[in-house]
Amino acid sequence: MSARLDSAQPYALGLFRIVIGLLFAVHGAASLFGVLGGAAGTGGGTIDAGTWPGWYAAVIQLVAGGLVLLGLGTRGAALIASGSMAYAYFDVHQQAALWPIQNGGELSALFSWAFLLLVFTGSGAFGVDRLLGRRTATAGEPAAEQEPATA
């Protein structure tokens, strides 16, 4: 049973990456463009361009979420996304209370840890990183950001 689960790991990780990236990108799109209910706390509107930290966070959410969704530059995009969510938790939420359940920071904490996991695991299956890595390797050049095989 363990061997079957291990062989499915890259696919589970790839699906995890896709879902996390999509959810993160949707937050950015909602805040920047007012789609899907708009930015939280604005009554369905958007965040004014250049507003600190909300607008910058929304840009990071849209861009980093899209890159993670595609599996393109996954580790770098996930590192930036994880850091932005850690900042959101400690600067915005933790002022209200210590625990995420008390301060409304559960989503920030979960996103931060999920993206940190992707920094260390890479994109898994279905990622553009892997597709480009295979093409480069078959062309006789060293593969760009090719991830180590999991045991």
Residue 111 has pLDDT above 80, yes or no: yes
Domain boundaries, the chain: 11-138
* 145 C-beta neighbours (distance < 10 Å), count: 17
Do 26 and 46 touch, CB atoms closer than 8 A?
A: no
Global pTM reads 0.82
pLDDT, tens digit (0-9, with 9 covering 90-100), for 5-49: 889 999 999 999 999 999 999 999 998 988 877 776 666 678 788
- Tell me how far the alpha carbon of residue 88 is from its chain's centroid: 14
**Closest Cα to residue 28, out of 61, 76, 6?**
61
Q: What distances in angstroms separate CA 26 from CA 2, 23, 34, 35, one per listed residue?
A: 35, 5, 10, 9
Angle at the Cα of 83 (from 56 to 44), degrees rounded to 5?
Answer: 40
